[in-house]
């Protein structure tokens, strides 16, 4: 089949404004948008810039806006999309070039919630055990691949880029509800600040956008409850 791919291009060295460029390509219905981008880059225009790595929905590096929605290019099949297929950089972030956005703030927000296990007890001789029930408590939020589809879909984030954003809260949840961790209060204090969880207006775009099927809004609500009621 023939497909039309419209890509929002921007090269800060030459362009004052972003502009659309259109490419007509032969594709199989089971090709992924990433295959189309690779074909453009490798066969038509080597200057096209986008991030990708694993090509299998694991690394989280090729999130972009495809036909108006945040998705991973490597997980989006041509046959799922109406034509022309439009591809744009993620919203709410500064565009560095073409489909590459500046993720400095995104990762600063992620680091701010201390996304690692903190336990100051003496090091045990063997691993710290946890019951299946306790492990289940944060199972959903361990699935995050930090793609940013949730944060780029959140109107509260568009309005206020200082909002820590759903991705950072999901990763805070992963440790706040881990029975082996001892820094939940510290993370809750960080998220109870001006640009923390209360910027979330329960809009649910994040949950719809997550390619890992994480119940993002639910995780945010659980963090809010933990702050207000101490429920963990
Ligand atoms: Fe991506 Fe989902 Fe993690 Fe958000 S919660 S960064 S959408 S994997
Ligand atoms: Fe935004 Fe999701 Fe909350 S879209 S407002 S973080 S529920
Ligand atoms: Fe790794 Fe798509 S390239 S998630």
User: Does pLDDT of 232 surpass 90?
Assistant: no
Query: Where would I find the beta strands (DSSP E) of the chain?
Result: 2-9, 19-26, 63-66, 69-72, 85-88, 95-97, 100-101
How many Å apart are CA 47 and CA 38, to the nearest integer?
Answer: 11
Residues 166, 206: contact at Cβ < 8 Å?
yes
pLDDT tens-digit readout, 94-150: 999 999 999 999 999 999 999 999 999 998 899 899 999 999 999 999 999 999 999
Q: Which atom of ligand 3 is nearest to the CA of 59?
A: 1
Q: In this structure, which residue's CA is closest to atom 3 in ligand 2? A: 200
What CATH class is the domain 2-101? alpha beta
Q: What is the mean pLDDT of residues 13-38?
A: 97
Please list every protein residue whose CB sits less than 6 Å from any atom of ligand 3.
52-55, 57-62, 72, 74
**pLDDT, averaged across the chain:** 97
pTM for this one?
0.96
Contacts of 139 (CB under 8 A, 6+ apart): none
pLDDT tens-digit readout, 146-205: 999 999 999 999 999 999 999 999 999 999 999 999 999 999 999 999 999 999 999 999
Q: How confident is the model at residue 88 (pLDDT cuts 50, 70, 90)?
A: very high
Q: Which fold has domain 104-229?
A: Fumarate Reductase Iron-sulfur Protein; Chain B, domain 2 (1.10.1060)
- Domain ranges across the chain: 2-101, 104-229
pLDDT tens-digit readout, 36-77: 999 999 999 999 999 999 999 999 999 999 999 999 999 999
- Please tell me the predicted confidence (pLDDT) of residue 230: 80
Please list every protein residue whose CB sits less than 6 Å from any atom of ligand 2.
154, 156, 166, 200-206, 216-217, 220
Please count the helices (runs of H) and the strands (runs of E) in the chain: 9, 7
Q: If DSSP states are collapsed to H, E and C, what string results for 113-169?
A: CCCCCCCCCCCCCCCCCCCHHHHHCCCHHHHCCCCCHHHHCCHHHHHCCCCCHHHHH
Smallest CA-to-CA distance from 27 within 81, 98, 100, 108 is with 81
């Amino acid at each position: 089949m023939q497909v039309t791919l419209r890509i929002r291009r921007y090269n800060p060295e030459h362009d004052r404004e972003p502009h659309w460029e259109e490419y007509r390509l032969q594709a199989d219905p089971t090709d992924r948008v990433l295959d189309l981008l690779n074909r453009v880059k490798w066969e038509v225009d080597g200057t096209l810039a986008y991030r990708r790595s694993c090509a299998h929905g694991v690394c989280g590096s090729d999130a972009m806006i495809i036909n108006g929605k945040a998705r991973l290019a490597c997980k989006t099949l041509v046959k799922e999309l109406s034509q022309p297929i439009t591809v744009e950089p993620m919203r709410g972030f500064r565009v560095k070039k073409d489909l590459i956005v500046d993720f400095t703030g995104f990762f600063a927000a992620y680091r701010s919630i201390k996304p690692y296990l903190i336990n100051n007890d003496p090091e045990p001789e063997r691993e710290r055990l946890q019951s299946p029930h306790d492990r289940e408590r944060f199972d959903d939020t361990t699935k995050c691949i930090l793609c940013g589809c949730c944060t780029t879909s959140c109107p509260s984030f568009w309005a206020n880029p200082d909002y820590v954003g759903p991705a950072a809260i999901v990763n805070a949840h992963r440790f706040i509800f881990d029975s082996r961790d001892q820094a939940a209060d510290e993370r809750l204090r960080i998220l109870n600040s001006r640009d923390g969880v209360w910027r979330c207006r329960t809009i649910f775009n994040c949950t719809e956008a997550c390619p890992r099927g994480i119940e993002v809004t639910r995780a945010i609500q659980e963090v809010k409850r933990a702050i207000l009621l101490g429920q963990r």
